[in-house]
A and B are shown apart, each in its own frame.
Chain A
Amino acid sequence: MTTRPYAAMRRTLSVVDKLYEVNWGLVLLITIVACVGFAMLYSVAGGNLSPWAWQQMWRFAVGFAILVVVATIDIRTWLSLAYPFYGASLVLLIAVVIAGHVGKGAERWITLGPLGLQPSELMKISLVLAMSRFLHGKSVEDVSRPANLGLALAMIGIPAVFVILQPNLGTTLIILADGASLLFLSGLSWWWIAPAITTVAVAVPTAWRFVLHDYQKRRVLTFLNPESDALGAGWNIMQAKIAIGSGGATGKGFLEGTQSRLNFLPEKHTDFIFTNFAEEFGFVGCVALLILFAVIIGYGVQIAASARSQFGRLLAMGLTLNFFFYIMINAAMVMGLIPVVGIPMPLISYGGSAMFSVMFGFGLLMSVHVHRQVEIPRHSGGII
């Protein structure tokens, strides 16, 4: 290909210009949600900054820096870095499965510098990046071609297989959802989609029999009837519902949630932190938080819609959907709408990997926003 990749750009921006272009309103909303997280971590620690809130604050600070730096890096740079990132994430993921140490019966962690990094968290962002890069060069017709579709499915499937091997059902679902969404957005033919849905309908019962671990099956069964085994596997979901429900209309008040303080809530500082929020701030607080999330998602959709490159659009929408899937799965699981699959609430749950990857994702989203005027030719990504 002879065309210079950058020939089509209309403007070049200085770093100062780019910082000016950052959607600070969105950053503010993200920061507010993160502060809700700090408050909740302070609360579930019984009114203590340690062990969680303080840690989470500096993680957010690091994440904030990541966001700003990533936002100012040119979107075309991200385009060219998409595949290396994907490759690196995949290597780390495989390394975790092979050499990662065992914690909680699931091999999810790898020690990377001072941070315990969860490659599966990084993988979600990398997948969106790489899929956007791949689909950027494909026309609507191209997407539905078996060769391209096969490649795309391989991009989704390989990490999905390694994540489910960890095993981590929740993240696997998000990876599959992210990948499927991007294929859908880039125009995959309904002739593929309809049979795929049928296949899933057949595959799920099969997976139930041969793939899912006992504890995962138990979670599903427990979900279907939590009251049946109140002190066993149904305990978590029962207590989560009690915590949320007992918040009532206006909640018990900050630091007054008894369910988490008395350890009735499982994973109170990570996956189930939303229940503590619901208990202390009630229906009013929950709806406010959901609206906050909805506005952030709305920003993401708007950024996607205003980007001039297909890469930018797919990336922005993919990251927004990724963020949405986090919220949806976490909220639905703690409210007893779906089985407990182990997904944190983004920006609120305690955890380094999730915080960094979410902030990295927002950084990329912001980069799309900052470089929304940049047009990238369809074939510019021919060279990795």
Chain B
Amino acid sequence: MPLFDRKDKSRYATFTRRSLGMTGGMAAVFAVLGGRLYQLQIKNGDQYKTQAEENRVNQRLLAPPRGRILDRFGVELANNRRNYRVLLVSEQATEGVEAALDTISKVILLTDAQKKRVLHDLAMNKKFVPVPVAENLSWEEFARINMHLPYLAGVQPDVGQTRAYPFGAELAHILGYVAAVSPEDLKDNDDPLMSLPGARIGKRGIEKAYDDQVRGTAGVSRVEVNAYGRIIRELSRDPGVPGQDVWLTIDRELQRFTDERLGAESAACVVLDAQSGDVLALSSTPGYDPNLFNVGITPDQWKALTTDDHKPLLNKALSGAYPPGSTFKPAMALAAVQNGLKDLHVNCTGAITLGNHQFHCWNRHGHGGVDLTRGIAQSCDVFFYEVARRLGIDKMEAAARAMGLGAATGIEIPGENSGFIPGAAWKEARFGIPWQMGETLVTGIGQGYVLATPIQLATVAARIASGRAVSPRIAHTVGSVSQPRPLPDPLPFSDDAFAMVRAGMDAVCNGGGTASAWRIAEPGLEMAGKTGTAQVRVITKQERLTGVKSNGSLPWNLRDHALFIAYAPVAAPRYALSIIMEHGATAAHPHVQMARDILRFAQQRDPLKMRAAYPLTAAMSAPPAPHGDRG
């Protein structure tokens, strides 16, 4: 048998042919691999680079501390407190998360709902992510957790920061509150801070008005994370910008006194610097604890707040619009003097007849001869019917608006009601009926369509006291920038007019007028004021014939609202005040007593004489130079 035959030759040829073909195939595969590398690395390289960077780098927002809110002397009205929390890390809970929660609940109180939420949160997060189990613990609870820590595998005590309102309900209607961010908040707010878990946003009051400034700017920590999301190291850190402090013109001591004095009544009181319009106290009672909204209000608490007939959630000082009643009369008196009715003399017989309709004075027996000063002092309705009849609605409307009624005062707290001053044109447009003289008369005593808020009435008091168009302002300095406080313009009334009206208001308290039983007796601290009553119900003709029921005999919610505006001291007014007590019109005039006490306290403490603690750059904040008129 030969070693090699022809068959060998043929198969060598086949091998060579086919192996060459396969080598070509291999070369083709290498070309494809190279092409794929070109596609991935050159063509789409940048896109993959971005993706790799996104993989690697995780941006974590850092919440800056929220700016404080301070009173004029630097007392912290809203600050940040330590938030004692308990966190649970599931991968460290060696006996399982449910066992861990059971153990925690032996140390601090945990509701079933809380446990359910925690288990849900743990399931939603990676195993090494700490999930909050309980927040806002007391120091004692926190200490207990720390003491039991050796037996609590996976539990991490933690101290965070959260908003605190040290004075609770007392300033609720000024400060408002912060609460969890709602989907509506996100619609017109793209601040990344809003997306942080546990983020808070100002929902009311100053917290809402200055939320952008108080919130600060989010810091960013860029961290490198691995595929499981665990942080490997921090690449860079921008701590963000802390929120700015807001300095209010409020004097917390006066605020406290005012709030305490109003007590549990459904009432509101505003105290202004009569010359500058700075709000020194603004109280609406009852209030609510703003801290509740931050930590999470329970359904029961919410129900209690919303069903209370004293409406604790309503800021009556700003949002409550009431018929001003007789507190409207000083403005009418100014208009009267301005329009040549300085020497008007009216004989009050208890009523005035217009056509076939009788317009009654509050005093059924009549006041007899009444001039302007006495008209104010005795609050004679008949005198002001006559004033109104002679002025006409247009001049009355102009005067009321000049005194700051019928338009929002522009105070920085959101939610202000603009009140209402009717006019002939308005009525024509609204109802298609011409203005009636009867309506003029009713408007003259602050009834009918007229509505005013307590802050507007305080503005009226301050304008009468100062003779200038002061407007209420509550935010003095934001961060280090003092807010613009233009020198108020003079009002379009003569010094003579102011002098007469002031004399009338002096007489209300100190000249045997309607509030003389509750005057400030201390020499030099006397107040001038004007009482008012806003009717809540319609008095029928029948009732008028049989005798108008006294407020004391009516159910609480049918009694008239009691109002009072005042300023003090009479000689050189510096404090102006308005107060309203819903359904408080009783013979004892409790609201005038409150006003008296508040104005007396204000003068005795005299915060305007004390050096304010606003930041130094507040050069513009000097009170307007006193002007000559101190009638």
Contact = CB atoms under 8 A, between A and B. Distances in A.
A189 B7 CA distance: 15
A331 B55 contact: no
Contacts of B225: 262
Contacts of B14: 140, 185-187
A184 B22 CA distance: 10
Contact of B18 (A185, A244, A287): A185
A212 to B, nearest CB: 24
Given A185-B19, A246-B52, A259-B52, A297 B26 contact: yes
A3 interface: yes
Interface in B3-45: 3-5, 7-8, 10-12, 14-16, 18-19, 22-23, 26-27, 29-30, 32-34, 36-38, 40-42, 44-45
Interface stretch (B181-189, B226-234, B513-521, B584-592): B226-234
Contacts of A228: none
B8 A246 contact: no
Interface stretch (A59-67, A74-82, A373-381): A373-381
Contact of B226 (A263, A332, A335): A263
A332 to B, nearest CB: 7
Q: How large is the interface on A (under 10, 10 to 19, 20 to 34, 35 or more residues)?
A: 35 or more
Interface stretch (A16-24, A150-158, A278-286): A278-286
Interface in A36-57: none
Contact of B56 (A244, A258, A304): A258
B22 A335 contact: no
Contact of A187 (B15, B23, B45, B51): B15
A184 B18 contact: yes
A283 B44 CA distance: 12
B224 interface: yes
Contacts of A328: 26, 29, 33
A305 interface: yes
A241 B48 CA distance: 8
Contact of A248 (B1, B5, B18, B45): B45
| 8 residue pairs, one from A and one from B, having the closest CB atoms | A245-B48, A246-B52, A139-B7, A248-B45, A187-B14, A262-B226, A283-B41, A263-B227
Contacts of B1: 3, 379
B107 to A, nearest CB: 37
Interface residues of B, number: 46
Contact of B49 (A241, A245, A262): A245
Interface in A185-216: 185-187
7 contacts: A139-B7, A259-B52, A263-B227, A263-B228, A313-B19, A335-B33, A337-B36
A181 B23 CA distance: 12
Contact of A287 (B10, B37, B46): B37
Contacts of B41: 244-245, 247-249, 278, 282-283, 286
Given A259-B55, A379-B1, A310 B15 contact: yes
A321 B42 CA distance: 29
Interface string A237-270: 0010111111111000000001100111000000
A246 B51 contact: yes
Given A283-B45, A378-B8, 17 more contacts: A139-B10, A141-B7, A186-B15, A245-B44, A248-B41, A258-B224, A259-B55, A290-B30, A290-B34, A294-B27, A297-B26, A301-B23, A305-B16, A313-B12, A328-B26, A335-B36, A378-B7
A83 interface: no
A290 to B, nearest CB: 6
Interface of A: 3, 8, 139-141, 181, 184-187, 239, 241-249, 258-259, 262-264, 278-279, 282-283, 286-287, 290, 293-294, 297, 301, 304-305, 310, 313-314, 317, 321, 324, 328, 331-332, 335, 337, 375, 377-379
A262 B36 contact: no
B33 A246 contact: no
A313 B37 contact: no
A245 B48 CA distance: 5
B208 to A, nearest CB: 40
Nearest to A139: B7
Contacts of A293: 30
Nearest to A324: B26
B358 interface: no
B550 interface: no
B47 interface: yes
A170 B16 CA distance: 28
Contacts of A297: 23, 26
B223 to A, nearest CB: 11
A187 B11 CA distance: 7
A310 B26 CA distance: 21
Given A301-B19, A332-B33, A140 B10 contact: yes
Nearest to A235: B227
Contacts of B29: 324, 328
A194 B44 CA distance: 39
Contacts of A290: 30, 33-34, 37
Contacts of A321: 22, 26
Contacts of A259: 52, 55-56
A243 B48 CA distance: 7
Interface in B248-268: none
A377 B55 contact: no
Nearest to B14: A187
Contacts of A187: 10-11, 14-15, 18
B55 A258 contact: yes
A293 B16 CA distance: 22
B8 A335 contact: no
Contacts of B49: 245-246, 248
A258 B52 contact: yes
A234 to B, nearest CB: 14
Contacts of B34: 287, 290
A239 B40 CA distance: 12
Nearest to B56: A258
Contacts of A287: 34, 37
A314 B15 CA distance: 8
